Structure 1
Amino acid sequence: MEKYGVNDLRRMFLEFFESKGHLAMKSFSLVPQNDKSLLLINSGMAPLKPYFTGAEIPPRTRVTTCQKCIRTGDIENVGKTARHGTFFEMLGNFSFGDYFKHEAIRWSWEFLTEVVGLDPDRLYPSVYLEDDEAFDIWNKEIGLAPERIFRFGKEDNFWEHGSGPCGPCSEIYYDRGEKYGCGEPGCTVGCECDRYMEVWNNVFTQFNNDGEGNYTELEQKNIDTGMGLERLAVVVQDVDSLFDVDTIEALRNKVCEIAGVIYGTDRETDVSIRLITDHIRSATFMISDGIMPTNEGRGYVLRRLIRRAARHGRLLGISHLFLAKLSDSVIQGSKDGYPELEEKKDFIFNVLNNEEKQFHKTIDQGLRILSEMEEKLTAEGTTTLSGEDAFKLYDTYGFPVDLTKEILEEKNYRIDEEGFRKSMDEQRTRARLARETTNYMGADATVYDQIDPSVTTKFVGYAHLTFTSRVTVLTTETDLADALMEGQKGTIFVEETPFYATMGGQIGDCGTIRTDNGIFEVEETIKLLGGKYGHVGVMKSGMISVSDIAVLEVSTEARRATEQNHSATHLLQKALKKVLGAHVEQKGSLVTPTRLRFDFAHFAAMTAEELDQVEKLVNQEIQAQLEVSTDIMGIEDAKKSGAMALFGEKYGDSVRVVSMGDFSKELCGGTHVHNTGEIILFKIISESGIAAGVRRIEALTGNGVIAYYKQQEGLLGQAARELKCNPSEVAEKITHMQAELKTLNSENESLKSKIAQNSMGDVMNKIQEVSGIKLLAVSVSDVDMNGLRDLGDQLKDKLGEGVVILASAKEGKVSLLAMVTDEAQKRGAHAGKFIKELASVVGGGGGGRPNMAQAGGKDASKIPDAIAKAAEILKKQID
């Protein structure tokens, strides 16, 4: 048997099923589309759900894919074993009501034995206990002896996911030989050891589960198969694990080269090597699909993977940034199947470098906080860090719990792991309760789910703002309807529409729909599965019925303003690339009639000079009155022409390319001005950070800019009137007032200090001596904490060596201060502990360092008691 490489096997699989009439589709993004039930795509069938449910009509009834997938359910085991990983590629062939069991089983056998060349005598299928049909196909059509076909129960050979489509499955196992076995008597298919490896799973979707355990036959039966590409490579290349197949081994070796270690010589080292190898694959593919490291959702999954990899790099002794170098190996090994990796290479490297730098800061910050927690443990005389503190380090500061454990164990401390797990479970429970109840696609069920999937809408709004079409579907807010009456809210669907639906960041059109019998006001236009355009709004008068002929009129004013803002975002993106660099990538946008918002990848706040450069550049291209043209072309031709594509977006074979002179060229389905001069003006209103490595610009165009300047002019006039000066003198007047205020504040602080000192009188005669240490504990009237600190410094200087305790009440709030000199600390005096006890007397709390601490309280009447207790506390500390 030839030992094909990973890239060969991927190509062979897709070509084989193309020869069987399948449409080979490119891998979908790891980011689920219109599916809230998943954080990340985790199987080959997940992106195809709409085709299985009938919500969308598939491009062909036979489809094959190699889908990139991520599963993090076993993340804690990644690295510890050679079989666990978070990233994998899933080969699959799918039938939507076309072929069924006979073809699926026959083709899986043909591919494995005739195309790949696996030994037929080492292949063993399993079937569901009650699936005699599948058993007979394997036995009578493929020709396998009955004893080579294994019948398993529902847990192993029946696929279902709550309510919805489900069915039995047939898995194919490969006998890797005795060297991978457990050696136990009766070791066979289904054993937990590594000898019999499952390589293929054919799922026969033939039932519908109503959620109550009742199964009915589906009218349209489907095939959903899955075969892990890496698993197949393990079998074909006859290697120990997925970390030993050709492309992943090359990456693993790069890890070893950077770290200066050898794989297979030390268990702990191997754990780190495998973990880094796996996690950098996941991170590279996630970033290539536009996912950015954040503190929630899929962004948090990415951040966790990157930080775990960086942490294990430190364990291997790597002290410099290294993840981007490894990512380059991922790209070189996988770009044959995923060319977008090469296209987004620079951006991927930037994200990884930025996050790795950030993690180094996090590690250092976490070490400082952990050090303070250790001091607290020592002071309290305990050796166990509470689960709450360990979780705080993990959740708030991103500090890995295994690192916390390791550092503490070196100093003979431990973590309350049960308490940590409890805190973790409480967080998961909160997250689970926050999720909405959803349907099979993870979205809230709506009236639109009831519409026939064959209903679709043709968009004609590039050329028309008014169009006549036939009404195909009407809905109220809850039901399908034959007619909408005056006052009713609802949605109208037609065969052809000039209304643009919200997508690609551009907000949908508003306007009116008129028939001979009624007028409907369109408040928003939405796009639904299957290319349906829904006109959402309210009946203003009369009645509209299904099959009526309607005149659809888009609000010209709103559309033109939206187009100004949309075209400006194209100019803005190109200007940002010119000023900041090629790494700038669109991360999101919002285009409305009143403003535009543009989110982009960049790793620092823009300077005033950079913002000015970008704004000038955009306005130059507006004044240049560039022609805006549109071309329809193949996706590859569009990319070759230099058209910018939206990060992580999946495009069809034909795309729409919008060009603005020679300045900007982007793939875009939105509507635009005909000439950049129509935008009139462009003004940036704000620039801010919205996530790690993501900045946001908000801007205005055309009449919006003029209205903005009028508003600013009004505010300036109002400020001038309040300052009693001309608008041109406002800045000078404010500068003069600030200088005056600064002088007054300084005089005020000086007076407060004198008052505080006068209120003290001669306090030096109140010094006590406790076991040879001088103690000055006094109260003063109406002094805030800043004043107490100033007084404390003065009194400590006069005292020389010893302890100063001050208390004061101001506006009903108590302030306490403790200061302890070096010699007093050596005797055991500790300001932080001192203040903690005093604060409890006045009904408050606080703490601090050994030399200085402060606290607040609520009960001013107890200040004399606190002062009286100071000597007792000091004596207890030093004896």
Structure 2
Amino acid sequence: MKTAEIAQRYLDYFEKNGHTIVPSASLVTDDPALLFTVAGMVPFIPYLSGDVPAPYPRAADVQKCLRTLDIEEVGHTPRHGTFFQMLGNWSFGDYFKEGAIRFAWGLLTSPEEDGGLGFDPADLWVTVYEEDDEAHDLWLRLTDLPEERIQRLGKDTNYWSTGLPGPAGPCSEIFFDRGPAYGIDGGPATDDDRYVEIWNLVFMQYEITNVRSKYDFDIVGELPHKNIDTGMGLERVAFIKQGVDNMYETDQVRPVLDKAVELSGRSYGAVHEDDVRFRVVADHVRSSLMLLSDGVAPSNDGRGYILRRLMRRAIRSMRLLGVEGPTFRELFAASRDAMATAYPIVATDYARIEQYALAEEATFLRTLAAGEAILDASLLQTKDAGGTSIDGAEAFLLHDTYGFPIDLTLEIAEEAGLTVDRAAFDELMLEQRTRAKADARSRKRQLADTSVYRDFRALGETVFTGYTDLETESTVLGLLVEGHPAQSAVTGQVAEVILAETALYAESGGQVADKGVIVGPGYELEVLDVQRPVPGLVSHTVEVVSGEVGVGQPATTVVDAVNRRAAQQAHSATHLIHAALRDTLGSSATQAGSLNRAGYMRFDFTWGQALSDATKTEIEEIANNAVRDNLEVTTRVLPIDEAKALGAQALFGEKYGDVVRMVDIGGPWSRELCGGTHVGRSSEVGLVSVVGESSVGASNRRVEALVGLDAFRSLAAERAIVSQLTSSLKTPREQLPARIAELAANLKAAEKKIAALEAKEIAQQGPALADAAERLGAYRVVAADIGTASSGDDVRTLALQVRDRLGSDAGVVALAARVGERPVVIVATTEAARAAGAKAGALAKVAARALGGGGGGRDDVAQGGGADPAAVPAALTAVRSELGAA
């Protein structure tokens, strides 16, 4: 049974049983405490917690999920994957334990010809929470399971909570027995790979508080509305139904594994280490494909860092399988073909996905080449010094700063006959993980608890009137002061105000929040921010300027009209720039993010190379031509499928409901899904002046522009600068570029001439310096401060000349100079000096320490530097002392 068929059977079964079928949410979640949708319940959290009334009493879905907490387990176990799909059925105050058990058992054990999954009841085991007698008795009454195949387990396995105050409850898990070939008898309590958990039924019935850990808390009482949250792992069911040993061999994953086998020339099933690498490649390529399809782009932080890590682990695994060249073109195509039936977007959007994948692979292959060069130098230096182990801090630097995997460091070091101080490396990694976990815990504590808004949201959605009105009368529904409900707020206090209606725009879709005031009888509030803390609810952060505001009082929201108009201009200009980019570069230049505020817009888009000056000019001209043409701006609210059929552009990673707002500028020329505010006609945008274009990732570019009066002021300032230059240089405006280029060339030539004279002057010091060599023990030493130099190369040249003049003596030359504002020391040694034990690299480090910097190099010539020019005498004294002691 194919994976997609299992999913469809699941949805068909629950639809027949009165459930609303809900499409999968994006892997990118709105929850600020999470980077990704890590479980099937994440999109339903507002409904399960009661923060937002559920739009349906019962639902079912197939939810895309991504977890990297157990990333090191991928490939080693039959069921650990980073991307997975969770089949879920949900009840929001509708059916409870009996219904959940009936539905689960019915689907699992019904014959395939009747639409079920056809599991033999004799292969199934169940666990329940040890104190949940109700669930235990229901399993006995509703199914033909014998008592001995219903096991009671503790809180650590059969009790669900988020680890935060709120809903919680016992759970019941269903396991499949793979048979004695996979482990010992004894049921799920043996915690053995023989028993695979396929379905978890969570009975969300309690409210908890005083949470001391995930399994240590106080139960306040029962929830007013008990919920059902279930999750069945699609990949786990698939590998059982398909008769394979693990999820990596199922129909949606195996094609990538097979392609990796083909590209590597190695066999699957022959060597355990290779099998793990093949499975890592198959899992990580699929996960990367799905993240890219949901609009995540590789980067150095947040979600983008996780994606980059997955892609680089896949590249690393292919390299350990003996493939050093690029493979993503073939691997991603194989994953696309395997996943397209379930997720058509991976095929329709594949050009963009592949562009990111190939760019990231090329970047990392260059990183590997650079890292190998650094590692090779470290290996050589370690061997020359008689060492046997690479410093753990250096291995960590390669891993953390250059992205060079520790596995490759270990492998290359082993080939060179050296080891790596793995203990020191692991200690540094542990410190880094500890910091990251502390940051994540802090973020979770600060941002995750939205229960304070639950009662406000229960009163209904906040009505936004700002599309048509800049003032709206309303009522204060609630107040929060320092995060806690309050009845009033007085002058000087900062509070959150919840209103029934508002004309103030809450930050979203790239458009910043409105500025303005809220006024009422005897009070005035300055609006500091407007946000949507939970779906459907608007919160106004305000400072009480005067008076006292209280719950239940009348309130009028007043939008700053000048700021709103400028923000509208910027937002509409963003749409113009997007359309101009697509006109110029083609449909693959799609939106990857934006920011719009009064007078300024920033637009990120998918593109792999810098735009030429001519292209930037063309884009700017197309946008301003649209302004000139006074195009009509219209908005329509319509079903999302109809909007997409009309060609509306959607922002990748953005979540849209069944009904959307579509903004047209000039009809289909610019047609986007957008909830922001806009001008009435394109001429109202005013001037659009592109002021910047830059890279924001391997395949992302950013265009920045000033809009309206801000654009005019910027151009006026540039005009004033041009006027000053024409006057100062006595050159017509059109000849300024050539005149400035001429002056720059003359300056460069003069600098070059000065540098040559300085180099000649420095070189002339050679004979005198050699004649002044002092005797320190076995060495003739020249340690001198030569003043200033144009470059370190001039100092190096002089040091080598002086060394040559010392002939066959055991000579050491240490010359210091100031290059710009920084001190430089060059150390050179003769062959006889090296034979006597003087190493230039070691001496350069000694000098550099005195200068407050670092240094090193070969035994015959090396360089050091620092930040303190006043320490040059001390650096030279340190070299003398080192040689004298020797």
* Residue 209 (structure 1) aligned with residue 208 (structure 2): yes
Task: Render the CA deviation track for 1:805-853: whole Å, top value 9, x for unaligned.
Answer: 1424669986532235789879987532343456678887521234431
Q: Which deviates more from structure 2 when the two are superposed, residues 97-106 or residues 723-732?
A: 723-732
Say if 2:456 is the partner of 1:451: yes
Question: Which of 504, 507, 523 is the aligned partner of 2:509?
Answer: 504
Aligned to 1:599: 604
> In structure 1, what is the Cα distance between the partners aligned to 2:737 and 2:558?
50
CA contact (8 A) 2:456 2:477 kept: no
Unaligned runs of 5+ in 2: 111-115
* 8 Å Cα contact 2:829-2:861 kept in structure 1: yes
Q: Deviations over 1:482-504 (max 9, x none)?
A: 45555554444333333222110
Residue aligning to 1:849: 858
Q: What SS is found at the alignment partner of 1:789?
A: helix
Q: Report the counterpart of residue 174 of structure 2 in structure 1.
A: 172
Task: Write the letter of the residue equivalent to 2:856.
Answer: G
Alignment match, 1:47: 43
Supply the AA of the counterpart residue of 1:14: L
Partners in 2 of 1:198 and 1:350 — Cα distance? 38
Instruction: Give the corresponding residue for 2:56.
Output: 60
* 1:118 and 2:119 matched: yes
- Provide the rounded CA distance (Å) in 2 between the counterparts of 1:474 and 1:167: 31
Q: d(CA) in 1 for partners of 2:104 and 2:276?
A: 35
SS at match of 1:199: strand
1:777–1:870 contact (8 Å) kept in structure 2:
no
What do residues 25-56 of structure 1 show as CA deviations (whole Å, max 9, x unaligned)? 111111221331x2322211123222221112
Shift of residue 167, structure 1, vs aligned partner: 1.7
> Which residue, out of 47, 50, 65, partners 1:69?
65
Q: Aligned residue for 2:195?
A: 196
Which residue does the alignment assign to 2:670?
A: 664
User: So what's the TM-score if we normalise by structure 1?
Assistant: 0.90
Matched ranges for 1:275-290 at <5 A: 275-290=280-295
Q: Structure 1: how far apart are the matches of 2:153 and 2:850?
A: 70
Are 2:826 and 1:817 equivalent residues in the alignment?
yes
Q: C-alpha distance in 2, partners of 1:432/1:822? A: 54
C-alpha change, 1:826 and 1:861, in structure 2 (3 Å) is closer
Q: Residue 318 in 1 paired to residue 323 in 2?
A: yes
> C-alpha distance in 2, partners of 1:770/1:473?
84
1:431 to 1:509, Cα distance in 2 relative to 1, 3 A: same
Q: Distance in 2 between matches of 1:648 and 1:826?
A: 65
Gaps of 5+ in 1: none
Residue 253 of structure 2 aligns to a residue whose secondary structure is helix
Specify the alignment match of 1:156 in structure 2. Answer: 157
1:788 paired to 2:795: yes
Distance in 2 (alpha carbons) for counterparts of 1:782 and 1:303: 48
Change (3 A) 1:447 1:201: closer
Deviations 1:770-820 (A, max 9, x none): 99x996735354244454234235446666778561424669986532235
Going from structure 1 to structure 2, the CA distance change for 1:381 and 1:471 (only over 3 Å counts) comes to same
User: What residue in structure 1 maps to residue 842 of structure 2?
Assistant: 833
Q: Percent identity among equivalent residues? A: 37
Counterpart secondary structure, 1:782: strand
Distance in 2 of aligned mates of 1:489 and 1:440: 21
- Are the structure 2 counterparts of residues 236 and 721 from structure 1 closer, same or farther at C-alpha, using a change threshold of 3 Å? same
Taking the TM superposition and a 5 Å limit, the aligned residue runs for 1:718-797 are 734-735=740-741, 737-753=743-759, 755-757=761-763, 762-763=768-769, 765=771, 777=782, 779=784, 781-784=786-789, 785=792, 787-795=794-802
Counterpart Cα distance in 1 of 2:609 and 2:739? 34
Distance in 2 (alpha carbons) for counterparts of 1:755 and 1:253: 68
In structure 1, give the amino acid aligned to 2:195: Y
Alpha-carbon deviation of 1:747?
A: 4.7
Query: Is the Cα contact below 8 Å between 1:491 and 1:537 reproduced in 2?
Result: yes
Listed as ranges, the matches of 1:268-667 within 5 Å are 268-435=273-440, 437=442, 442-443=447-448, 448=453, 451-476=456-481, 478-483=483-488, 488-515=493-520, 517-541=522-546, 545-661=550-666, 662-667=668-673
Go from structure 1 to structure 2 and tell me whether the alpha carbon gap of 1:159 and 1:440 turns closer, same or farther (over 3 Å shift): farther
Equivalent pair of 2:504/2:530 in contact (CA under 8 Å): yes
Partner of 1:506, secondary structure, is coil
Question: For the structure 1 residues 507 and 266, does the alpha-carbon distance in structure 2 shift closer, same or farther, using more than 3 Å as the test?
Answer: same
- Cα distance in 2 for residues equivalent to 1:488 and 1:373: 59
Q: Measured at CA, do residues 757 and 197 of structure 1 come closer, stay the same or move farther in structure 2, by a change above 3 Å?
A: closer
Distance 1:513 1:777, change over 3 A: closer
Deviation at 1:156, TM superposition (A): 2.3
Q: 1:221 maps to which residue?
A: 226
Q: Is the 8 A contact 1:788 1:806 kept in 2?
A: no
Question: In 2, Cα distance between the equivalents of 1:566 and 1:697?
Answer: 14
1:401 Cα offset (Å): 1.0
Change (3 A) 1:725 1:436: farther
Decide whether the 8 Å contact of 1:779 with 1:863 is kept in 2. no
SS in 1 for 2:651: coil
Once the two structures are superposed, residues 208-263 of structure 1 have per-residue CA deviations (whole angstroms, 9 ceiling, x without a partner) of 33215322332222211111001111222222111222222233223323333432
Corresponding residue of 1:676? 682
Equivalent in the alignment of 1:8: 5
Supply the AA of the counterpart residue of 1:9: I
Structure 1 residue corresponding to 2:704, chosen from 698, 709, 718: 698
Conserved? CA contact 2:396–2:429, under 8 Å? yes
Matches within 5 A, 1:60-139: 60-114=56-110, 115-139=116-140
Which one-letter code corresponds to 1:426 in the other structure?
A: E
Q: Distance in 2 between matches of 1:199 and 1:415?
A: 42
Q: CA deviation at 1:670?
A: 1.2
Indicate how the Cα distance of structure 1 residues 669 and 429 shifts in structure 2: closer, same or farther if over 3 A, else same: same
Bigger shift: residues 707-716 or 640-649: 707-716
Paired residue type of 1:706: F
1:31 match: 28
Correspondences of 1:704-719 after superposition (within 5 Å):
704-717=710-723
Offset, 1:862:
5.5
Q: Which amino acid aligns with 1:99?
A: Y
Distance 2:713 2:848 in 1: 56
Deviation track 1:176-235 (CA, whole Å, cap 9, x = no partner) reads 233x332x4x44333344332221111112223321532233222221111100111122
Query: Alpha carbons of 1:515 and 1:78: their partners in 2 closer, same or farther (altered >3 Å)?
Result: closer
Kindly indicate whether the alpha-carbon contact (under 8 Å) linking 1:489 and 1:538 is maintained by their aligned counterparts in 2: yes
Pair 614,825 (structure 1): closer, same or farther in 2 beyond 3 Å: farther
How far apart are 1:367 and its partner, in Å? 0.9
Q: Which moved more, 1:665-674 or 1:334-343?
A: 334-343
Q: Measure how far apart 1:675 and its partner are.
A: 1.6
Give TM-score scaled by structure 2 length. 0.90
SS of alignment partner, residue 246 of structure 1: coil
Equivalent pair of 1:779/1:867 in contact (CA under 8 Å):
no
What is the CA–CA distance in structure 2 between the aligned matches of 1:14 and 1:863, rounded to whole Å? Answer: 76
Cα distance in 2 for partners of 1:449, 1:713 equals 55
- Look up the equivalent residue of 1:16 and give its one-letter code: Y
Per-residue deviation, 1:473: 3.0
Specify whether residues 455 and 400 from structure 1 end up closer, same or farther in structure 2 by C-alpha distance, changes over 3 A only: same
Q: Distance in 1 between matches of 2:12 and 2:406?
A: 46
Q: Structure 1 residues 796, 668: CA separation in 2 closer, same or farther (over 3 Å shift)? A: same
With 816-825 and 694-703 compared, the bigger mean Cα shift is at 816-825
Q: Which amino acid aligns with 2:38?
A: N
